[in-house]
């Protein structure tokens, strides 16, 4: 059965509990007690545990006006204590206080009728439902979950080479997991920018030499890089020349694709801004990953190759 999602991804604690009610969920004590409370308060037989005898008698239509027996009183006390404890542990503040208040009332009197207890338990059940409705969770599909909270989303080498990009690359993955694709693109842009600056420093482009590369537009930096990469053609023929040509051209292709396809459109607000779609965000995740992985094989923050490879 499919999860009862709200607005595409949100789901409440109560929705989860209701969905899991299709079969016993014994691993969660809170849920078990919540189900017991619901069954007792509604007059249905419980599935097992504290309160069985009381709920069975109610279900059999024994007089609700009869006084509560000592056995039933002990059972209900245990239920209320357990519910107050479990509600507190999962942060259901209002329900916790209501359970404690009912327990206090319960202990102050001895002449309770079955009907009164059922009314109190139904009231408590209502407050538990309200609190559970307020606890919201975001559903992450399995296809997106693999991007969530990754320390090293693009691998060990990228993590070590570009520490300044770590935060944004992890956040880009979290945004992909949450379905916030435009935000993922913005974080990818910030992470890729670290690599772009380091590539410019490695090739000693004019902006890097003037120590202005952090304040320059991407198009200008890429233009200077393309000029520097063309200069490789003037090197003496060698394996080093071929390796350098392949290395830099592969990097510039990825960053150029990312810049032209996504970054320049994300970086500026337009009257009719179109949100980034999931497939676009994933495509650009790939562009930035390949760009930084390519760079990390040879350069890193503060570590560069020779101007002319040997």
- Torsion angle of the four alpha carbons 139, 140, 141, 146, in this order, in degrees rounded to the nearest 10: -160
Dihedral sign (CA 284, 290, 293, 299): negative
Q: What's residue 309's pLDDT?
A: 95
Q: What is the pTM of this model?
A: 0.70
pLDDT digit string, tens, across residues 204-245: 999 999 999 999 999 999 999 999 999 999 999 999 999 999
Quick one: average pLDDT of 40-55? 44
137 three-state secondary structure: strand
End-to-end CA distance of the chain, in Å? 62
Can you state the angle between helices 114-134 and 52-59, rounded to 10 degrees?
A: 110
Q: What's residue 206's pLDDT?
A: 97
Q: Higher confidence at residue 21 or residue 264?
A: 264
């Amino acid at each position: 059965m499919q999860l009862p999602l709200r607005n595409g991804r949100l789901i409440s604690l109560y929705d989860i509990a209701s969905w899991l009610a299709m079969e016993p969920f014994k691993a969660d004590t809170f849920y078990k007690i919540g189900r017991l409370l619901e069954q007792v308060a509604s007059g249905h037989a419980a599935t097992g545990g504290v309160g069985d005898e009381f709920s069975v008698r109610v279900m059999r239509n024994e007089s609700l006006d009869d006084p509560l027996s000592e056995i039933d009183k002990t059972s209900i006390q245990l239920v209320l204590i357990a519910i107050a404890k479990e509600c507190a542990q999962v942060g259901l503040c209002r329900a916790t206080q209501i359970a404690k208040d009912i327990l206090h009332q319960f202990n102050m009197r001895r002449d309770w009728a079955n009907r009164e207890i059922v009314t109190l338990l139904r009231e408590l059940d209502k407050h538990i439902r309200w609190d559970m409705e307020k606890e919201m969770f975001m559903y992450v599909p399995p296809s997106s979950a693999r991007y969530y909270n990754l320390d090293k989303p693009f691998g060990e080498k990228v993590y070590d080479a570009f520490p300044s990009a770590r935060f944004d690359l992890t956040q880009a993955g979290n945004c992909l997991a949450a379905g916030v694709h435009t935000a993922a693109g913005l974080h990818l842009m910030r992470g890729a920018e670290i690599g772009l600056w380091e590539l410019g420093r490695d090739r000693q482009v004019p902006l890097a030499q003037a120590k202005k590369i952090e304040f320059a537009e991407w198009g200008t930096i890429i233009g200077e890089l393309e000029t520097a990469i063309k200069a490789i053609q003037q090197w003496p023929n060698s394996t080093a020349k071929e390796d350098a040509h392949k290395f830099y051209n592969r990097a510039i292709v990825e960053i150029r694709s990312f810049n032209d396809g996504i970054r320049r459109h994300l970086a500026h607000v337009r009257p009719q801004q179109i949100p980034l779609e999931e497939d676009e965000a994933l495509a650009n995740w790939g562009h930035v990953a390949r760009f930084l992985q390519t760079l990390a094989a040879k350069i890193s923050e503060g570590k560069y190759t020779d101007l002319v490879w040997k």
